Each structure stands twice: as structure tokens, then as C-alpha cells.
Amino acid sequence: MKFKAVIFDLFGTLVDNFSKKEHDKVHALMAETLSAPYEAFRHAFGSSFSDRCIGKLRSTEETIAVCCAQIGLSPDDCKINTAAQYRYDFTMRTLKSKVEVLLTLQNLKNDGYKIGLITNCGPEVPLL
């Protein structure tokens, strides 16, 4: 049987898994920007993962607003946008493929394979 396509996951396959230490730093910076207690914000944001992945929460800004509402806060749009930008910047730093990965993808395409991607991620990943 000849295969026609190769399907990849994103994190841990095409790009490295993100650093938990850096991830926690970004959540702390976001919480500080929003004047939110760190643990409460981190828990609310983490609990939103499924809703982010299935598109129920359609943007990082919406996710932040919903998480803040869950912990009794209503920050202004400027604070929400600043916190979201920290998340976008972190995600952009995370989405760096190694040269070997890019070469492998190119070789597969050159050999006639279609390339697919299936992954679980928040709404910021497809934007970047």
C-alpha cells in the first residue's frame, strides 16, 4: 500500500514542546497586567484549554476576558490586549521549527506526499 499523505502533530513533533517555566512566567506577567491573583488566573486559563481548542473561545482576548470574569475581574480592553500580546509573543517564540524538520517536510512534498497537520491548540496558534 502506497501512502499519499503524512499527518503530523504540531507540538512535540514539528516544534518543541513549550518550556513550562517560560509558560508560567507568561501567565504571571498576564496576571500582573490584569491585576489578577496569579494562581486564580492560571487555574482559570488552564481550565479553558478545551474550550480554546474546540473554538468555543474564539480569541485570546475573549479567553482572557472570560477567565477574568470567572475570578471576579473586569479589566479594560487595554489591559486585556496587553495580556493577550504577551501570550502571542510567547506562542511566536514557541513556534520555531528546527532546520531538520523543515527539510523533512520539503523532502516529503518533493516526493509527492501531501502534508497534513492535526493538533490541539488555542486560537492564537492558527493566527501565527
Q: What is the pLDDT of residues 42-94, one digit of tens each?
A: 999 999 999 999 999 999 999 999 999 999 999 999 999 999 999 999 999 99
Domain count within the chain: 1
3-state secondary structure 36-84: CCHHHHHHHHHHCHHHHHCCCCCCHHHHHHHHHHHCCCCCCHHHHHHHH
Global pTM reads 0.88
Which residues, 6+ apart, have CB-to-CB distance to 62 below 8 Å?
none
**Dist. CA 58–CA 63, nearest whole Å:** 8
| CATH classification at residue 120 | 1.10.472
Q: What is the pLDDT of residues 3-50, one digit of tens each?
A: 999 999 999 999 999 999 999 999 999 999 999 999 999 999 999 999
Query: Which residue range(s) make up the domain with 90?
Result: 5-127
